[in-house]
Amino acid sequence: MNTSVEVQTVIKSYPAGTGTINAVDGVSFDLHAGEFVAMVGPSGSGKTTMLAMLAGLLDPTSGSIFIDEQDLTKMKEAERAQFRRRKIGFTFQSNNLVPYLTALENVELMLRLNNEFTPRFRDHAKELLARLGLEDRMNALPQQLSGGQQQRVAIARSLINRPTLVLADEPTASLDTERAYQVVQTMAELVHEQNRTGVMVTHDLRMVEYVDRVIQLLDGKVERILSSKADLACLANPANCQVIPGQVLGFEEFKITEAARV
């Protein structure tokens, strides 16, 4: 598997009182092309901060983040903005879409920003929306779409420019269970099909059913990385656990295979 993202000993500190506090504390991991990863952890564990640094929206205090062998931390703001629109796709928890653009226009916006607004890519945008079950809603404005449909449009937008890295911040936070499963499943399928690298921050462990790996953060550090099918299935649904039924990650009562322990 090709390594597309390398996170090397990343630290992000914030001033707190007379000292500093590390929101992310020496995190390292690699991500591969065609891999869909969930980043989980309780509030304050550093997962959103890590996601923001992966997106180039936040500078680490130290450490490096390589995407396609380019060090994001060495880039200037303008370079990072250009890098984001070419190499990174982003789905947010909310406020994903431009409210005065239709679903299709929202997806096409990435093509316009990358000067790739050609008939071929427009057709690709339509295909992508159709693939996400939105063929009848392409000309609808965001306010005319359900929450799930809006998230799917955002996923289409995040993938249209064939990015190396696709990031999603709590993409299912405002969705009901059925739509949440649909959104994550579709995202996982597209990441796999298109050989992208996907990272999803979530606190909903049921969603890990569709991911290839789970990176659990705790107090700014990588606590565990889980990749075995059994562990992921157990995490997604305690009924599948072959060991003592766990509750949630982090969580002394939850037993996982020793091999998964970092």
Provide the minimum distance between the beta carbon of 251 and another protein in the complex, in angstroms, as a whole number: 25
Interface size with another protein, residues (CB under 8 A):
33
Interface positions, 147-186, toward another protein (CB under 8 A): 157, 169
Q: Does 85 bind another protein (CB under 8 A)?
A: yes
Order of strands across the sheet that contains 62-67 = 19-32, 3-16, 62-67, 70-71
Amino acid at position 240, single letter: N
Strands of the chain (E only): list them: 3-16, 19-32, 36-40, 62-67, 70-71, 88-91, 165-169, 197-201, 213-218, 221-226
Question: 110 and 85 in contact (C-beta within 8 Å)?
Answer: yes
For another protein, the closer CB: 169 or 204: 169
Task: Indicate the residue among 18 and 115 with the shorter CB distance to another protein.
Answer: 115
Q: How far apart are CA 200 and CA 37, in angstroms?
A: 6
Q: How far is the CB of 255 from another protein (least distance, A)?
A: 33
What are the phi and psi torsion angles at 58 (to 5°)? -140, 135
Q: How far is the CB of 165 from another protein (least distance, A)?
A: 12
Buried b (16+ CB within 10 A) or exposed e, 55-73: bbebebbebebbbbeeebb
Q: Hey, what amino acid is at 99? A: P
The two most distant CA atoms of the chain are separated, in Å, by 57
Binding status of residue 210 toward another protein by CB under 8 A: no
| Residue 21-50 contact track with another protein, rule CB under 8 A, x = bound | ---------------------------x--
Cβ at position 185, least distance to another protein in Å: 23
Give the one residue of 7, 39, 40, 52 binding another protein; rule: CB under 8 A.
Answer: 52
CB of residue 206 vs another protein: minimum separation in angstroms?
23
User: Residue 57 interacts with another protein (CB under 8 A)?
Assistant: yes
Q: Which of residues 86-125 bind another protein (CB under 8 A)?
A: 86, 88-90, 92-96, 98-101, 105, 109-110, 112-113
Does position 54 interact with another protein (CB under 8 A)? The reply is: no
In angstroms, the CA 260 to CA 262 distance is 6
How many C-beta atoms surround the C-beta of residue 168 within 10 A?
Answer: 29
**Under the rule (CB under 8 A), what is the footprint of another protein?**
48, 51-52, 55, 57-58, 78, 81-86, 88-90, 92-96, 98-101, 105, 109-110, 112-113, 141, 157, 169
